[in-house]
Structures are given as C-alpha cells and as structure tokens.
Amino acid sequence: MKIAPLAFTVTDWGQMPATEHPGETGMALWRTMTIGDVRVRQVEYSAGYLADHWCDRGHILYVLEGELVSELKDGRTTVMKAGMSYQVSDFGDAAHRSSTKHGAKLFIVD
C-alpha cells in the first residue's frame, strides 16, 4: 500500500457522510475517505448483516465494537471481537465475507 501525497489530516468520522450498502441480509453504513488508491473507512454493520459477495481485496480490518464473523470461502471462520484485527493481501488467501448477529463497528484500510 502506498499513500499518495497528503498533508497531516484529521478526520472526525462522526461528521463524515454515511452511504448505505445492503448486504444479503442487513445493512452496512460506510464513512469513507479516499486517498489516491487507498480507501479508509469506518463501517457499521447492522444486526443480522451478511455480506452479499465474496471479497478478494486486501484489507487491514480492526474491530472497534461488537463481534464479527469472518468466513473464508474454503470454510474457515474466525470470530473477531472488539480490539482484534485481521490483515490480508489482495488475492492473498481464500475469498472472505463478513457477518454479524448483533452488529459491529469496524475501521478498515484497503
């Protein structure tokens, strides 16, 4: 990941506009800042959220609140709780998708 030239920038995520992204079930709210090819997001998944796609994009994902299940297409699952993160490169492992029973708030860089 290479960050394009950028001055020291402070982001108040609560002031960033949210966009809605429906899952197979539930909803994701994204607050996004794009810097060149790098996307920085605060994402909130509603209770009952299940992603509507398998993802091969690389991410650094940190769980701020709640609990997230990361499912890999090969059948592996990982329960992610607040304070945990995962890192994966583009096409670095099996495709993955997220779900949550009770909701989760994440910070994602990709």
54-82 pLDDT tens trace: 999 999 999 999 999 999 999 999 999 99
Q: With 90 as the cut, is the pLDDT of residue 1 above it?
A: no
What is the band of 2 on the pLDDT scale with cuts at 50, 70, 90? confident
pTM, to two decimals: 0.92
Q: What is the DSSP string of 32-101?
A: EEEETTEEEEEEEEPTT-B-SS-B-S-EEEEEEEEEEEEEETTS-EEEEETT-EEEE-TTSSS-EEEE-S
What confidence tens digit (pLDDT) does each residue in 89-100 have? Answer: 998 888 999 999
